[in-house]
């Protein structure tokens, strides 16, 4: 049996829904555009870059994440009640949602498959150092790992540690260095 690639199956399904009048192609295009340009990891990267270059903004971000990210225009469903935790040389934060997959969509976009995986959700709480190592992040034994469990009431967002050698960088130069995984705490920002 030959498997049809997922992209072709998705396109065929969309075409069928449009033909039957169940989906308006303009609405569909609007959703796609929103997730490509308005919602996603680039938004979170802008928040991180701003915090790295503006100490006053960073203080507001750590004090009230929801209000600080709203200053940059990032708000909406799944973006209420954001708590920001900061990685330092001594403490590394990682985020999980053990019940489902609560995730700060306006900052990180749609959650990746690994974040929703029951194995990740269960294991990262019990053995975070092992799970992070399996994902490619080796932390020194003396680095404390804090696991934050997001929920429908609170969504955690990691302010990654700024990499050495980026002291003179602008926000525009810093933002492309920041990835979704660094803001979930399963990777470090590389210069």
Q: Is 151 annotated as a binding residue?
A: no
Sign of CA dihedral 54, 59, 62, 66: negative
Q: Assess contact for 96 and 186: CB atoms under 8 A.
A: no
- Crossing angle between the packed helical segments 6-19 and 25-33, to the nearest 10 degrees: 140
151 is an active site residue? no
150 is an active site residue? no
Q: Is 100 annotated as a binding residue?
A: yes
Q: Assess contact for 69 and 106: CB atoms under 8 A.
A: yes
In the block, which residue shows the tokens 């029951």? 118
CA angle, 82 as apex, 187 and 38 as ends, to 5°?
Answer: 75
102 is an active site residue? yes
The DSSP output letter for 84 is: E
For residues 19 and 185, what is the distance between their CA atoms, to the nearest angstrom?
A: 43
Extract the runs of DSSP E, i.e. beta strands, from the chain: 82-86, 91-96, 144-149, 155-159
101 is an active site residue? yes
Binding residues for Fe(3+): 97, 100-102
Q: Which residues are catalytic?
A: 97, 100-102
């Amino acid at each position: 049996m030959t498997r049809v690639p997922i992209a072709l199956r998705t396109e065929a399904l969309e075409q069928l829904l449009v033909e039957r009048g169940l989906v308006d192609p303009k609405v569909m295009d609007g959703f796609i555009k929103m997730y490509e340009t308005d919602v996603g990891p680039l938004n979170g990267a802008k928040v991180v870059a701003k915090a790295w270059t503006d100490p006053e903004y960073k203080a507001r971000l750590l004090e009230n994440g929801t209000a600080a990210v709203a200053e940059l225009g990032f708000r909406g469903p799944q973006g209420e009640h954001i708590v920001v935790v900061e990685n330092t040389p001594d403490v590394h934060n990682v985020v999980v949602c053990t019940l489902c997959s609560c995730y700060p969509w306006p900052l990180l976009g749609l959650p990746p498959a690994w974040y929703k995986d029951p194995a990740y959700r269960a294991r990262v709480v019990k053995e975070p150092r092992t799970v992070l190592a399996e994902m490619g992040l080796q932390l020194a034994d003396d680095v404390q790992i804090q696991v934050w469990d997001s929920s429908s009431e609170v969504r955690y967002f990691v302010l990654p540690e700024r990499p050495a050698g980026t002291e003179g960088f602008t926000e525009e130069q810093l933002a492309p260095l920041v990835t979704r995984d660094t803001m979930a705490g399963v990777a470090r920002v590389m210069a």
